[in-house]
Amino acid sequence: MAKNPKPTWAESMAAVRIGRYLAARPGLEDMTEGDIEDVVTIAAEAVGLPDAKFNAFKLAVYATLLEVKPEYAGRLTPEFLREIAASE
C-alpha cells in the first residue's frame, strides 16, 4: 500500500468543492486552522473517505483554497505550504 494514497476522482472533486466553499466564505479570515480542520474532517467523513487518504484530501482542499484566495497563504506555515505544493 502506498504511504500517502491519493484520493479517487470523486474524492478529489469533493475536496475542490470544499476548498471553493471555504474560499467563498465571508468569514474565512475569522476561521482558525482548527475550524478549517473541522470542516475538512466532517466533509471527509461525509464522503466516506478512508483515514489513509485524509491527509491527501486535506492538502487538496488547501490547494484549492489557495488557488482561489492566494492571500490566505500568509496564514499558513512555510512547512505546510511546501507540503501543499509537493502534493500537487
What does the mean pLDDT of the chain come to?
Answer: 89
What does the alpha-carbon distance between residue 86 and residue 82 come to, in Å, rounded to a whole number? Answer: 6
pLDDT (mean) for 42-46 = 93
Residue 1 has pLDDT above 70, yes or no: no
pLDDT at 62: 94
pLDDT at 54: 93
Residue written as grid cell 507540503: 83
Q: What is the DSSP string of the chain?
A: --SSPPPPHHHHHHHHHHHHHHHH-TTGGG--HHHHHHHHHHHHHHTT--GGGHHHHHHHHHHHHHHH-GGGGGGS-HHHHHHHHHH-
pLDDT at 3: 63
Under the banding of pLDDT at 50, 70 and 90, the label for residue 19 is very high
Please answer whether residues 66 and 73 qualify as being in contact, where contact means their C-beta atoms are separated by less than 8 angstroms: yes
